[in-house]
Structure 1
Amino acid sequence: MTTSTITLYHNPQSRSAGTRILLEAVGAEYTVEPVDFASGQNRTPEFLAVNPLGKLPTLVHGEAVLTEQIAIVIYLADRFPQAGLAPAIDDPLRGPYLRWLAFYAGCFEPAVLDRAYKREPIEASASPYRDYDTVIDTLAAQLARADYLLGDRLTAADLHWGNALKWTTGFGIVPMRPVFMDYIARVDAHPACVRARELDAALLADMAPPPASSAG
C-alpha cells in the first residue's frame, strides 16, 4: 500500500466532519488543512485550484483528489480494507451497501435540502427522490430491520449515515423518530466518532478568533 500523504481540507462545522470520522475509523495517517469560512479560505485561488466548487469535504491522497462525500466514503473504505468497513466486491452485501450510499446522495440529501429551504415539490414522477415523506419512511423502514443498514454489521455507510442523521435531526430537518435516534446513538458511540469529536473540538478552539482586548 502506498504511503502517500492524505490531506483533509476540513472545517468541523461542515460535511467534512463525516470524512474525519471515516479517516479515524480506517486508521489512516492524515493531515488536516483547516478551512475557515468566515475569512473566505474556501474561496481563495489556492483552494479553488483543488476544488473549483469551493466546497468541503475535499481530500487529497497522493495525486488523487476526491471532492464528493460518497466518493470519499467508498474510496477510504476500499483503500483500507483491513478496517473491515466495506463488503468486498463479491460479497452479497456489496450491492445493498452501494445502494444505501447512493440513496443518501441521490435521494436523502436533495430531499432534506428542499425541505429545509421550503422549495415547492415537483411532480413525484419527475423527482429524482419521489417525495420527502417517502424518502424518510424508506430509510426508517430499513433501520427498523436491524441495528445497522446491512444488519448486525457496521460499515462505512453507517458511519456516514449516523453523522448525517445526527446533523439533520439536530437542525429539525428530519423528524426525531425513535428509530433514527437509537441508530444515531449506536453509531455515535463508535470509537472513531468519539475520537473525531475530540479532535474537532480542539480544532474549533484553535480556529476561534482571539477575544477582543479590553481597554485598561
Structure 2
Amino acid sequence: MAADITFYTNPMSRGQIARWMLEEVGQPYEMIILDYGPAMKAADYLAINPMGKVPAIVHKGKVVTEAAAICAYLADAFPNAGLAPPLAERADYYRWMFFAAGPVEAAVSNKALGLSVPEGRERTIGYGSFDHMINALEQAVSGEQWICGDQFTAADVYAGSQVDWGLTFGTMPSRPAFEAYAARLRERPAYKRQKELDNALIAQMQRPA
C-alpha cells in the first residue's frame, strides 16, 4: 500500500512521540531522517517547518508540526484507530493533552535548564511552579487505566510520553501513579514497535564509521 504520510524525524528527538502515534494508527508512512546539522535548516525542509525542527508529517499535502498537534491530527484523520473519544466526551482528552504540551513541557524544560520561577512570581508563568505541575499531572494519570477512562487515546500517547521520558531520564519524580501509568504504556504493542525502530536507528547512527 502506498504511503500517504511522510514522516520527518530524528530518532534522538520528540520524533519518537510522533512515531509512537503513527504506530498506534497503523497506517503506512515514509520516513525521512534529518540530522541536527544542515539538513534541518535546509531550504526544502524549512519550507515544511520554518522552525527547522522535527517531528513533522505531511499527509496528502497537509503539513502538521508539533508532536501534540501530530497526535491529535492523526487521531482525527484515522478515526477507525479509535484514538480520540467521541466529540461529546473530549473534555479530559483536550484538557490533559494541552496541559502536557504547555505547562508540563515548559516546567520540565525550565527545570532541566536550571531555571526557576522567582518566589512570588508564580502567577506570571503558566505552570505556576514545577511542584504544582507535577501534582496536577499526577491527578490526570491516577486512574486505573487511561486519561479518558477505559479508552486509550492520543492524549495518552502525548502525555504518556512526557511521563515515560520523565521517569527514564529523572526529570520527573518517581511516584506510584506515574510508575503504574508508565508500566501500562510500555505494554502497548505500538510503544514497543516504536522503541525497537528508534533504538535500532540510534544504534546505527552511533556506530563508528
Q: TM-score, normalised by structure 1?
A: 0.89
Q: Residue 106 of structure 1 aligns with which residue?
A: 102
- Structure 2: gaps spanning 5 or more residues: none
Aligned partner of 1:86 in structure 2 is 84
Are the counterparts in 1 of residues 3 and 28 from structure 2 also a CA contact under 8 Å? no
Q: Is the 8 A contact 2:25 2:74 kept in 1?
A: yes
Instruction: State which of 38, 41, 48 in structure 1 corresponds to 2:39.
Output: 41
CA distance in 1, matches of 2:96, 2:178: 15
Show the counterpart of 1:174: 172
SS in 1 for 2:83: coil
Deviation of 1:87 (Å):
0.7
Report what 1:116 is aligned to.
Answer: 112
- Mapping 1:7-156, distance limit 5 Å: 7-37=6-36, 39-90=37-88, 92=89, 94-122=90-118, 123-156=121-154
Structure 1 segments of 4+ aligned residues over 4 angstroms from their partners: none
What TM-score do you get using the length of structure 2 for normalisation?
0.91
Q: Is the 8 A contact 2:3 2:30 kept in 1?
A: no
The residue type paired with residue 29 of structure 2 is Y
RMSD: 1.7
Answer with 1 or 2: which has the greater Rg: 1
> Mean Cα displacement is larger for which, 160-169 or 192-201?
160-169
Secondary structure of 2:178 counterpart: helix
Retained in 2: the 8 A contact 1:111–1:132? Answer: yes
Q: Which amino acid aligns with 2:16?
A: A
Percent identity, please. Answer: 40
Cα shift readout 1:160-202 (whole Å, capped 9, x = no counterpart): 2222212122221111112111111101110101111122233
Kept in 1, the 8 Å contact 2:3–2:29? The answer is no
